[in-house]
Amino acid sequence: MTFTRTLLACAAVGALLSAAPAFAADLQSGVDKSAFDTSVKPGDEFWTYANGAAIKANPIPPDRSSYGVGAILVEKTAKRTVDLIQDAAKAGGSADAKKVGDYYASYMDEAAVEKAGLAPMQAGLARIAAIKSRTDLAKVLGGNIRADVDALNATDFYTDNVLGLWASPAFDDTSKYAPFLLQGGLGMPDREYYLSDKDAMKTVRAKYQAHIAKVLTLGGVAEAEAKAARIMALETKLAQASGSRADSADVQKANNSWTQADFATKAPGLDWKTFFASAGLGDQPRFIVWHPTMVVGLGKAAADESIDTWKDYLTFHYLDHYSNLLPKAFVDERFAFYGQALQGTPQLAARWKRGVNSTNAVLGEVVGKLYVEKYFPAQSKAEVSTMVDNIKASFVRRIDGLDWMDPATKAEARRKVEVLKVGVGYPDKWRDYSALEIVRGDPVGNVQRSEKFETAYWIGELGKPVDRGQWVMTPQTVNAVNLPMLNGLNFPAAILQSPYFDAAFDPAANYGGTGATIGHEVSHSFDDQGAQFDSQGRLRNWWTASDYDHFQKAGAALADQFDGYKPFPDLAVNGKQTLSENIADVAGLAAALDAYHASLGGKPAPVIDGLTGDQRFFLAFAQSWRGYDRPEALRQQLVTDGHAPDQYRADTVRNLDAWYDAFGIKPGDALYLPPEKRVKVW
């Protein structure tokens, strides 16, 4: 299971990158004073105080559902990446570089895509049309299985994949990879989209059913509207069986070890033997079933729903899944629902941006190797690694200073930090893509072969020793991640750049930006979920009863705090759903602040541009969360995401005493919390 710091990780528009001085940080202090909105008090709206002028000056671009500093970094990285990809297409490069160039060129050749029409889809459509029996259905459903090392953050397991495969260390034995099965099968982002009685959700449901009908019509399927209604009814049944967001985040509920024989008795209705054989999993003795209610519901639906309805369902999802590789009518229809209806984005991103995203998804580490060779110098890796060491040391000191924790619990907590495997910039070992065939002029086939390649790779890893240096993000990803069962962290190169990190910045800004991100990811090892894993990544209770009770009470108080944030009259932040991230924010920010203070070596911090060291630290933190959304996208985040909206994450500062001293926050200020209400988890 992964716990990411979510930044705006889609392609952004380029004009604002160079044209918007409001985003150009001061290279001395590292704080962008031009972004300040001094019409508000820092104690009332700290996020707005730190970012308001920049937000007003930089409206969300038409091809985006959200915007901010993360989006600008994504845009900067995408522009660098497309140049690298195009250079790779030139003659004389390595075999891997040629694959990158051929893949991107195939994606970008719109004329060839239009000419090919649905021809590349015919073999798959014929496979679905040939289903005559429940055994045939099980064969196709199993054959659709796709594997991902980061499955819980994947976005395509709610397509034609009724179940997703995740290769990860087992809960009880982290020495080798085990197969996890996760729920899928839904075309909308979450079960709440099917089941909620809110008017906004009812509207989206109507648009989704119309989307199903339109895709079927484009695919030449007769009686599309009637079939769309039946597909919607089937997905609603799967949604009713699906686990909630809260259930999905509860690793104790996910710890379900099933043998192959268990599926027939616990989830009858699907020919599981055929399903697993078709998936290439026939020789696996056991699975970790993360969402047992969905597996049971799938078995029932496989038995109860007509073969024809299942064929229509599979036809729609097959077309929808590959629609971005099909003629323009399919691309436009996919965007009309997933971009406009779900996220409120007015304009489809330029094809080159979508091409970069697709190339990264298929050949991520090949592109990543090219990226770090040019854009991630050894000095940056060394400086960030030093910061990591300092924050780890700070966290250990904070553990040692806890007056409520038993010595035995402290010892294992320290051990978790000491053996934490931290990857900075890029993996120690690059993936081998020699077995992946990329054919210039075959965009659909390239993606299909990539999916088979990735799935075969991870199935081949099952039962083998775990690589604790494993990466689940490419170096060109603007994000970071904690991997509890590996007790490891990934900090990709693309997030380790200005304005989060810059060697020219005063340390206060680097610790408030990248340092807080590092502290956040370290702290995920000690959030409400990560704290259940020991130093070896095993799901094991290493707490005394009184220690864990104290920890849970602190978490409950933080959940209550976030429950009070309400961006819409009918929808608030879910404090429990976002608790893992909120704990990591509070604990990580505190550890980063301590590490910054320690880095001063006992000397006072300089005052720069009229700002003290602590002021620069907190302002850099708030500016790192300069992200803002369209209403539709914000609603989707509140329903489906484990992260609170950025402005509330910036308000994490109200739990640190030093923030009050730095800005003179007093009772009566909107963000003021009395000392006893300030949550201190670690």
Give percent of the chain with pLDDT exceeding 70. Answer: 94
How far is the CA of 548 from the CAs of 74, 83, 252, 535, in angstroms? 39, 51, 15, 17
SS3 content of the chain, % helix, strand, coil (to 5): 55, 10, 35
What gap in Å lies between CA 400 and CA 87, rounded to an integer? 52
Q: How many CA atoms lie within 13 A of 514 on its CB side?
A: 31
Task: Give the DSSP letter of residue 66.
Answer: E
pLDDT of residue 229: 98
Side chain identity at 196, as an amino acid letter? Answer: S
The DSSP H or E segment spanning 82 is: helix 69-88
Instruction: List the domain boundaries for the chain.
Output: 8-81+355-677, 118-325
What gap in Å lies between CA 446 and CA 468, rounded to an integer? 30
How far is the CA of 330 from the CAs of 136, 218, 219, 323, 589, in angstroms? 28, 7, 9, 5, 45
Nearest to 246 by CA among 167, 166, 190, 170: 190
End-to-end CA distance of the chain: 22
Pairing of strands 177-183, 163-169: antiparallel
Angle CA 25–29–33, to nearest 5: 50
Answer yes or no: is pLDDT of 354 > 80.
Answer: yes
What gap in Å lies between CA 65 and CA 78, rounded to an integer? 17
pLDDT of residue 630: 96
What gap in Å lies between CA 428 and CA 372, rounded to an integer? 12
pLDDT of residue 147: 86
Name 419's Cβ contacts closer than 8 Å, sequence gap at least 6: 487, 535
6 band by pLDDT with thresholds 50, 70 and 90? very low
Nearest to 142 by CA among 316, 290, 273, 286: 273
DSSP 422-463: EEEES-SSPPP-TT----TT-HHHHHHHHHHHHHHHHHHHBT
Q: What are the tens digits of pLDDT across the range 471-526?
A: 999 999 999 999 888 889 999 999 999 999 988 899 999 999 999 999 999 998 88
Pairing of strands 66-68, 627-629: antiparallel
Question: Among 118-132, 525-539, 605-619, 665-679, which is the least confidently predicted range?
Answer: 525-539
Nearest to 63 by CA among 354, 357, 345, 337: 345
How far is the CA of 150 from the CAs of 4, 366, 468, 470, in angstroms? 11, 18, 14, 11
Mean pLDDT of all residues in the chain? 91
pLDDT of residue 159: 55
Q: What are the tens digits of pLDDT across the range 188-230?
A: 999 999 999 999 999 999 999 999 999 999 999 999 999 999 9
What gap in Å lies between CA 143 and CA 138, rounded to an integer? 8
The pair of three-digit structure tokens given for residue 185, joined into one six-digit string: 């099968």
Answer yes or no: is pLDDT of 158 > 50.
Answer: no
The pair of three-digit structure tokens given for residue 277, joined into one six-digit string: 């054989």
4 band by pLDDT with thresholds 50, 70 and 90? very low
pLDDT of residue 23: 38
Length of the chain in terms of residues written: 682
Answer yes or no: is pLDDT of 9 > 90.
Answer: no
pTM over cut 0.85: yes
What gap in Å lies between CA 588 and CA 530, rounded to an integer? 14
Bridge partners of residue 539, in order along the sequence: 533
91 band by pLDDT with thresholds 50, 70 and 90? low
The pair of three-digit structure tokens given for residue 205, joined into one six-digit string: 């449901």
Answer yes or no: is pLDDT of 679 > 80.
Answer: yes
Mean pLDDT computed over 599-606 = 94
Answer yes or no: is pLDDT of 3 > 60.
Answer: no
Pairing of strands 3-5, 480-483: antiparallel
Q: Before 499, cis peptide (omega within 30)?
A: yes
DSSP 94-162: -HHHHHHHHHHHHHH-HHHHHHHTTGGGHHHHHHHHT--SHHHHHHHHHHT--EETTGGG-SSTTSS-S
pLDDT of residue 160: 60
Answer yes or no: is pLDDT of 177 > 90.
Answer: yes
Q: What are the tens digits of pLDDT across the range 634-675?
A: 999 999 999 999 999 999 999 999 999 999 999 999 999 999
Task: Say yes or no: domain 118-325 is CATH 1.10.1380.10.
Answer: yes
Q: What are the tens digits of pLDDT across the range 536-548?
A: 999 999 999 998 8
How far is the CA of 421 from the CAs of 6, 153, 427, 484, in angstroms? 21, 21, 11, 11
User: How many other CB atoms are found less than 10 A from the CB of residue 379?
Assistant: 9
Nearest to 46 by CA among 631, 626, 657, 596: 626
Q: At what angle do helices 613-624 and 46-57 cross, to 10 degrees?
A: 60
Answer yes or no: is pLDDT of 16 > 70.
Answer: no
DSSP 273-319: HHHHHHHT-TT--EEEES-HHHHHHHHHHHHHS-HHHHHHHHHHHHH
What gap in Å lies between CA 147 and CA 279, rounded to an integer? 10
Q: What are the tens digits of pLDDT across the range 546-599?
A: 988 988 999 999 999 999 999 999 999 999 999 999 999 999 999 999 999 999
Q: What are the tens digits of pLDDT across the range 97-126?
A: 999 999 999 999 999 999 999 999 999 999
The DSSP H or E segment spanning 247 is: helix 245-249
Instruction: Give the CATH number of domain 8-81+355-677; options: 3.30.230.10, 3.20.80.10, 3.40.190.10, 3.40.390.10.
Output: 3.40.390.10
Nearest to 319 by CA among 514, 456, 124, 537: 124
Q: What are the tens digits of pLDDT across the range 325-351?
A: 999 999 999 999 999 999 999 999 999
Scored b (16 or more CB within 10 A) or e, 545-584 reads eebeebbeebbebbbebbeebebeeeeebbbbbbbbbbbb
Pairing of strands 421-425, 488-492: parallel
pLDDT of residue 222: 97
The pair of three-digit structure tokens given for residue 611, joined into one six-digit string: 């700002």
